[in-house]
């Protein structure tokens, strides 16, 4: 009898231990193996949460992201193998390059149902989420980390993390939808996804080449300042053990949203040497924040040179020395990047690359060099 009472007490403790707390899980998508982040907030049997997968916008690879808000009910103590969580989700898939919800397409629904249950993966206990009507599955390591201290609230009471940040791991661009945050940063083509908990962003980071723990992915915990202008934080490899280093950042000098004003992407094979000028037109004064050109160069890349702009009257802005970013397969310096922060008046401008002999182009771009130009409204 005493043994039975002990079991009942332990079961009651397990049931209540997750009340009014938030648990974070790191995992991956079943369909393509990308990192995924699941956050569940328990209040008795009621469960709220988010599911996040960062989108991918790279040469030859455009993959949709995922940002779901979950509302459901647990049938018993979590993570008991007989317990399931089921309910409804809202949100949907994110466009690869704009990070906006895909709407109006039956293949990408914006509402549905989900089920979360215990399973095994690789011989170990795991948590599996299946979302309907798509049937997509997501696997997470069991025994998630509790991340909600007593008295900390979640949601809109915190600052909005959306925007561009200058960090000690490169420029980071984030988008916040509800409590869910996804984004990318320049160091090793990094990606970040997580959930806002009070003044914290708690989630996971992942980087090229594997985007998987323990060498190329792990936990991140960032704390935003009261004025929403800076953050401090920490990161680690994997989801256990000591923190590995600091992560700090400052919001970019302007909070105006960057606009992609020129894009000549292609998913087909590319060749060198553009045959047609790469031109864009401004209807109003804009500050050019970033220019990227692509130098696949038969998989060899090219040492970064410079990029400039030339107006229709022949006036030149720049040149600006570029820095390199790796491309698909780790090709060094496949992307040349400059951040001019120069204000241009209305007019037509040509992107001028210092090495057109290795600048990529093909028939899909109409012979124009593959390039991206970002800008914000002039102050």
Q: Are residues 246 and 264 in the same domain?
A: no
Domain that holds residue 264: 259-377
Count other Cβ atoms within 10 Å, centred on residue 31.
12
Lateral strand order in the sheet of 279-282:
279-282, 347-353, 306-311, 316-321
Q: Per DSSP, what are the bridge partners of residue 182?
A: 175, 193
Residue at 10 is within a domain: no
Q: Are residues 115 and 159 in the same domain?
A: yes
With 0.75 as the threshold, say if the pTM is over it: no
Output the domain CATH number for residue 357: 2.60.120
Contact 376, 256 (CB under 8 A): yes
DSSP code of residue 101: B
pLDDT at res. 345: 95
Q: Are residues 196 and 269 in the same domain?
A: no
Q: Are residues 263 and 346 in the same domain?
A: yes
Q: Are residues 353 and 337 in the same domain?
A: yes
What residues contact residue 64 under an 8 Å CB cut-off, 6+ apart?
55, 93, 94, 95, 96, 102, 108
Report how far residue 351's alpha carbon sits from residue 293's, in angstroms, rounded to the nearest whole number.
9
Contact 29, 56 (CB under 8 A): no
Cα torsion angle, 336, 340, 346, 348, sign: negative
Q: How far is CA 94 from CA 55, 100, 252, in A?
A: 7, 5, 24
Which has the closest alpha carbon to 121: 208, 28, 205, 199?
28
Count other Cβ atoms within 10 Å, centred on residue 169.
21
C-alpha torsion 168→169→173→174, nearest 10: -90
Q: Are residues 247 and 267 in the same domain?
A: no
**Phi, psi for 372 (deg, rounded to 5):** -135, 135
What residues contact residue 242 under an 8 Å CB cut-off, 6+ apart?
236
- 230-235 and 245-246 beta bridge pairing: antiparallel
Residue at 3 is within a domain: no
Q: Per DSSP, what are the bridge partners of residue 92?
A: 67
Residue at 8 is within a domain: no
pLDDT at res. 122: 81
Residue at 162 is within a domain: yes
Residue at 22 is within a domain: yes
Report how far residue 213's alpha carbon sits from residue 138's, in angstroms, rounded to the nearest whole number.
16
Q: Are residues 142 and 284 in the same domain?
A: no
pLDDT at res. 20: 60
Residue at 160 is within a domain: yes
Find the radius of gyration of the CA atoms of the chain.
23
3-class secondary structure for 162-220? CEEEEECCEEEEEEEECCEEEEEECHHHEEEEEEEECCEEEEEEECCCCCCCCCCEEEE
* Residue that terminates a domain, selected from 232, 251, 270: 251
| Mean pLDDT for back-to-back runs of 10 residues, the chain (379 residues) | 38 42 86 88 86 80 86 88 92 84 88 94 90 94 64 52 89 83 85 86 86 84 92 89 90 71 84 96 93 93 96 95 82 90 95 97 94 88
Q: Are residues 81 and 187 in the same domain?
A: yes
Element (DSSP H or E) covering residue 14: helix 2-17
Report how far residue 136's alpha carbon sits from residue 249's, in angstroms, rounded to the nearest whole number.
35
Residue at 215 is within a domain: yes
Q: Are residues 293 and 366 in the same domain?
A: yes
Q: Are residues 30 and 103 in the same domain?
A: yes
Which has the closest alpha carbon to 25: 142, 116, 159, 188?
142
Q: Are residues 269 and 344 in the same domain?
A: yes
* Residue that terminates a domain, selected from 251, 274, 292: 251
* Residue that terminates a domain, selected from 234, 251, 268: 251
Does the bond joining 163 to the residue before it have cis omega, within 30 degrees of 0?
no
Q: What is the number of structural domains in the chain? A: 2
pLDDT at res. 15: 38
DSSP, collapsed to helix, strand or coil, labels residue 154 as strand
Q: Per DSSP, what are the bridge partners of residue 22?
A: 41
pLDDT at res. 10: 37
Q: Are residues 216 and 306 in the same domain?
A: no
Residue at 281 is within a domain: yes
Does the bond joining 326 to the residue before it have cis omega, within 30 degrees of 0?
no
């Amino acid at each position: 009898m005493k043994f039975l009472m002990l079991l009942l007490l332990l079961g009651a403790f397990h049931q209540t231990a997750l009340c009014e707390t938030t648990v974070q899980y790191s995992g991956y998508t079943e369909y393509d193996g990308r990192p995924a982040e699941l956050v569940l907030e328990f209040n008795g049997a009621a469960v709220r949460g988010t599911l996040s997968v960062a989108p991918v916008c790279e040469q030859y690879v455009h993959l949709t992201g995922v940002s779901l808000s979950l509302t459901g009910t647990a049938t018993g103590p979590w993570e008991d193998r007989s317990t399931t969580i089921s309910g409804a989700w809202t949100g949907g898939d994110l466009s690869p390059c704009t990070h906006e919800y895909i709407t109006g397409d039956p293949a990408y629904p914006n509402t549905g149902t989900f089920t979360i249950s215990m399973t095994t993966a690789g011989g170990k206990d795991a948590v599996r989420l299946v979302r309907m009507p798509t049937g997509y599955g997501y696997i997470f390591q069991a025994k998630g980390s509790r991340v909600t201290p007593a008295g900390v609230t979640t949601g809109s009471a915190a600052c909005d993390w959306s925007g561009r940040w200058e960090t000690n791991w490169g420029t980071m661009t984030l988008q916040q939808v509800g409590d869910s945050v996804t984004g990318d940063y320049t160091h090793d083509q990094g990606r970040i996804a997580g959930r806002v908990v009070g003044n914290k962003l708690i989630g996971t980071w992942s980087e090229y080449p594997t985007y998987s723990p323990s060498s190329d992915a792990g936990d991140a915990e960032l704390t935003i300042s009261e004025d929403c202008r800076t953050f401090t934080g920490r990161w680690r490899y994997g989801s256990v053990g000591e923190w590995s280093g600091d992560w700090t950042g400052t919001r970019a000098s302007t909070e105006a949203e960057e606009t992609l004003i020129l894009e000549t992407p292609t998913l087909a094979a590319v060749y060198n040497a553009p045959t047609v000028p790469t031109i864009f037109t401004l209807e109003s004064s804009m500050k050019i924040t970033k220019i990227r050109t692509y130098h696949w160069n038969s998989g060899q890349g090219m040492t970064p040179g410079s990029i400039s702009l030339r107006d229709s009257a022949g006036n030149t802005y720049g040149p600006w020395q570029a820095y390199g970013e790796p491309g698909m397969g780790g090709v060094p310096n496949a992307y040349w990047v400059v951040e001019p922060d120069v204000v241009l008046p209305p007019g037509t401008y040509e992107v001028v690359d210092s090495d057109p002999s290795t600048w990529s182009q093909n028939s899909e771009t109409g012979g124009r060099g593959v390039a991206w130009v970002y800008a914000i409204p002039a102050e």
